[in-house]
Amino acid sequence: MPRRRPGSLLPLEVSILASCLDAGEPGSHGFALAKAIADAGDSRELTATGTMYRALHRLDAAGLVESWWEDPNDAADAGRPRRRSYRITGAGATALAKARAEATGTTAFTRADPGFAT
Amino acid sequence: MNSGPDDRSIRFARWWVHRYTAGLPNHESVSRRAEIDSDLAEHAQCRELDGWTPKQITQERVRRLVGGMAADLGWRHELVTGQCQTRGLVRVSVLSVTSVAAVTLAMFHFVFAAYMLGNISLAEQRYLGGLDNYAEEVGRPVASVIAAFIIASLGVVLLAAGLARPVSPVIANAATIAIAGVAVMFFWLGAWPVALVAVVGSTVDLATRTPNPTPQP
């Protein structure tokens, strides 16, 4: 994993925040975020499980995303384990905008997002 | 979710999650296990809808799991060290102190054992000319060396305790402290006084005794 400057975001974290932003208010669970990132990228490889949830944990701890657990009854009705959903916070949106601004003109980013320089 | 042979990869994934979340606060470990369970289910369901074969799903599941193992351990490390920081404790961490103390003591034991080996070697050289009671004369250093090896073996235990936690994160702090604690207790209560008497006795004995200059026929 590349070393980071204090306050900066890793590329995966930028991608997660961007996916959370796309998901909007309802939020999105970990696997859906991994799939969204893969679909937007060139490789279409899903992010490794540990890498994904470690990054989500960091973003959650930093207050850039917020998470909550699905109601157990809803999960039971759907016949699957409970989902933990993530939603971008105001601080996360600001950090994402800043990361995008820094990336513009300096780094080609793989994410197919209009906000990114490619 | 898949069934049959593919369940092995799911069981492996769950086993791995249980291993690297062992010893963590309950809410963290339960939360991570539930989240990975959900991820496994969502992954299988999504790929089945995409028309993937069970084999392909299993391969991707294993690839994602193995590819993220280092991050899993990193996450655990962040959590453990983060807890120490949030508690505001002055100590570096229980792990670090235990490890450093154990390794230091172990090194001391090894040096001590080496000293005793040198001691018996000296004794053998001094009496190489031959003594009718050779076995008796070197008996005490031999006993000392045995004691030193016992202590050194405790040093190995200490070393293992000191290194176990950093090397294998699945070993809880409590287990590491217990191993090191028991080893230190045995060391200070038992082997150390015995070995001290033995080494002082043998050193004084060797220093005061004049070797026999003429070999016995």
Assess whether B78 and B150 both reside in one domain: no
Give every CB contact of residue B76 below 8 A, 6+ residues apart in sequence: B20, B21, B24, B169
* ipTM here: 0.82
CA distances from B7 to B11, B46, B49 (A): 6, 17, 18
Assess whether B27 and B82 both reside in one domain: yes
Q: Check residues A73 and B100 and name the one with the higher pLDDT.
A: A73
Is A57 an 8 Å CB contact of chain B?
yes
CA distances from B185 to B78, B179, B181, B189 (A): 32, 10, 6, 6
For residue B36, which residues of chain A lie inside 8 Å, CB to CB?
49, 53
Please say if the pLDDT value at position A16 is more than 90. Answer: yes
The residue of chain A with its CA nearest to that of B75 is A54
Give the model confidence (pLDDT) of A84-98 as tens digits.
999 999 999 999 999
Is B121 an 8 Å CB contact of chain A?
no
For residue B64, which residues of chain A lie inside 8 Å, CB to CB?
46-49
Assess whether B98 and B82 both reside in one domain: no
What local confidence, expressed as pLDDT, does residue B78 receive? 84
For residue B10, which residues of chain A lie inside 8 Å, CB to CB?
none
Instruction: Please check whether residue B214 lies inside any domain of the structure.
Output: no
Residue in this structure with the two tokens 């893969």, named with its chain if needed: A38
Whether residue A48 and residue B63 make contact (CB cut-off 8 A), yes or no, is: yes
What local confidence, expressed as pLDDT, does residue B209 receive? 55
Residue A79 is part of which domain span? 11-103
Give the number of domains in chain A.
1
Whether residue B42 and residue A83 make contact (CB cut-off 8 A), yes or no, is: yes
Instruction: Please check whether residue A5 lies inside any domain of the structure.
Output: no
Please say if the pLDDT value at position A56 is more than 90. Answer: yes
| Residue A3 DSSP code | -
Assess whether B203 and B111 both reside in one domain: yes
Whether residue A54 and residue B37 make contact (CB cut-off 8 A), yes or no, is: no
Residue B71 is nearest to which of A30, A50, A81, comparing CB atoms?
A50
Average pLDDT score over residue span A60-85: 93
Instruction: Please check whether residue A4 lies inside any domain of the structure.
Output: no
Count of CA atoms in the C-beta half-sphere (13 A) of A75: 17
Of B86, B119, B137, which one is at a domain's C-terminal end?
Answer: B86
pTM of the model as a whole: 0.57
Element (H, E) at A11: helix A11-23
What local confidence, expressed as pLDDT, does residue B39 receive? 96
Instruction: Please check whether residue A116 lies inside any domain of the structure.
Output: no
The residue of chain A with its CA nearest to that of B69 is A50
Instruction: Please check whether residue A34 lies inside any domain of the structure.
Output: yes
Of B26, B58, B86, which one is at a domain's C-terminal end?
Answer: B86
Element (H, E) at B34: helix B26-49
Assess whether B21 and B100 both reside in one domain: no
Instruction: Please check whether residue A36 lies inside any domain of the structure.
Output: yes
- Residue-by-residue pLDDT tens, chain B, 217 positions: 444 445 889 999 999 999 899 888 899 999 999 999 999 999 999 999 999 999 999 999 999 999 999 899 889 888 887 754 444 333 344 555 555 666 666 666 667 666 666 665 555 555 555 445 555 555 555 565 666 666 666 666 666 665 555 545 445 555 666 666 666 666 656 655 666 666 666 555 555 555 555 555 5
Instruction: Please check whether residue B153 lies inside any domain of the structure.
Output: yes
Please say if the pLDDT value at position A54 is more than 80. Answer: yes
3-class DSSP assignment, residue B81: helix
**Exposed/middle/buried for residue B75 (C-beta within 10 Å: 0-12, 13-18, 19+):** buried
Amino acid present at B81:
T
What local confidence, expressed as pLDDT, does residue A111 receive? 46
Angstroms from A58 CA to nearest CA on chain B: 9
Angstroms from A72 CA to nearest CA on chain B: 12
Beta strands per DSSP E along chain B: none
Assess whether B105 and B51 both reside in one domain: no
The residue of chain B with its CA nearest to that of A30 is B39
The residue of chain B with its CA nearest to that of A56 is B75
Whether residue B65 and residue A58 make contact (CB cut-off 8 A), yes or no, is: no
Residue B198 is part of which domain span? 94-208
Element (H, E) at A68: strand A65-69
Instruction: Please check whether residue B123 lies inside any domain of the structure.
Output: yes
Residue A54 is nearest to which of B34, B38, B75, comparing CB atoms?
B75
Segments in B168-217 forming alpha helices (H): 173-186, 192-208
Of B52, B86, B120, which one is at a domain's C-terminal end?
Answer: B86
